[in-house]
Amino acid sequence: DRRLTADYLEEDWDRVVGINLKGVWLCMKAEIPQMLKQGGGAIVNTASVAGLVAITGTVAYIAAKHGVTGLTKAAALEYAKSGIRVNAVCPGYIQTPMVQGIFVENEGFEERVASRHPIGRLGEPSEIAAAVIWLSSDAASFVTGHNMPVDGGYVAQ
């Protein structure tokens, strides 16, 4: 669904932002009180490269994912002294059933998308999982407020 800013319907905007930003905030709102009780923890939000750069025709998604990266930074500052680390992963295009569905509907799109990643391919779900595991671990104990691209070099361009 590729629409310009002025062509977006309010109900579509609300749905996309509700899922992609409000949903993350609601999860954090539920997680943080428990983490405060237990003396700390690690939150890893799911943003996107769309939270770091802009892509035309996806304004609500771009706004929502930029919101997630901002929310991640703000919460990291708010809760750092309480032992809660807050980070986000920012995946590029990942081989998932949803993405494969988009490719099936749009001939040639997969090759165009893969070519946007300097590494020359789409990512695998296991590569995102590895980043989340690391950000959640004690090995990342000095990392907070970071929006980590896991994108085959997409945002490095």
CATH label of the domain that carries residue 98 = 3.40.50.720
Q: Who contacts 132 (Cβ-Cβ below 8 Å, separation ≥6)?
A: 44, 89
d(CA 43, CA 13): 26
Asked if residue 54 belongs to a domain, the reply is yes
Number of structural domains (the chain) is: 1
Select which of 61, 79, 93, 154 is catalytic: 61
Structural domain includes residue 155? no
The answer as to whether 156 is a domain residue is no
Residue 50: domain span = 5-150
Q: Is residue 157 part of a domain?
A: no
Residue 143: per-residue pLDDT: 99
Strand (E) or helix (H) holding 87:
strand 84-91
Of 79, 91, 92, residue with least CA distance to 144? 79
30: in domain: yes
pLDDT tens across the length of the chain (157 residues):
688 999 999 999 999 999 999 999 999 999 999 999 999 999 999 999 999 999 888 999 999 999 999 999 999 999 999 999 999 999 999 999 888 888 888 888 888 888 889 999 999 999 999 999 999 999 999 999 999 999 999 999 9
61 is a catalytic site residue: yes
Q: pTM for the full model?
A: 0.93
Of the chain, the end-to-end C-alpha distance in Å amounts to: 25
